[in-house]
């Protein structure tokens, strides 16, 4: 849900929109890198060599609004589940 509200304006799993498609991003990048990209986008684009290259290749700049660390972590888990073909709906939720 967070992904569709906060990210899908620019990202799709398989199709390049304003931002890159995100399939297998959790295999390409470390978890901390992705967390940083979501939470400290500005700084990443300025300082991280990989984020800099991505920024050069895209017309728009990634801007994430009102996403806290917990939200970012959930989105990361969501992306990871896609990359590992896990359907989160089939995993029982712990009470």
Check residue 82 for interaction with ligand HEC (CB under 6 A): no
Tokens of 79: 């992306």
Select from 13, 35, 39, 54 the one that contacts ligand HEC (CB under 6 A): 54
**Nearest approach, Cβ of 81 to ligand HEC (angstroms)?**
13
CA distance 89 to 45: 34
Contact yes or no for 14/23 (Cβ under 8 A): yes
Contact yes or no for 81/23 (Cβ under 8 A): no
Residues that bind ligand HEC (CB under 6 A): 6-7, 9-11, 18-20, 22, 25, 28-29, 34, 37-38, 45, 54-55, 58, 60-64, 67, 75
């Amino acid at each position: 849900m967070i992904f569709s509200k906060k990210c899908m304006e620019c990202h799709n799993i398989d199709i390049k929109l304003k931002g890159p498609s995100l399939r297998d991003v959790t295999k390409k990048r470390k978890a901390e890198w992705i967390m940083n990209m979501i939470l400290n986008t500005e700084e990443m684009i300025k300082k991280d060599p990989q984020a800099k290259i991505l920024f050069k290749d895209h017309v728009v700049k990634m801007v994430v609004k009102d996403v806290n660390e917990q939200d970012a972590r959930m989105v990361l888990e969501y992306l990871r589940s896609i990359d590992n073909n896990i359907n989160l709906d089939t995993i029982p939720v712990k009470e």
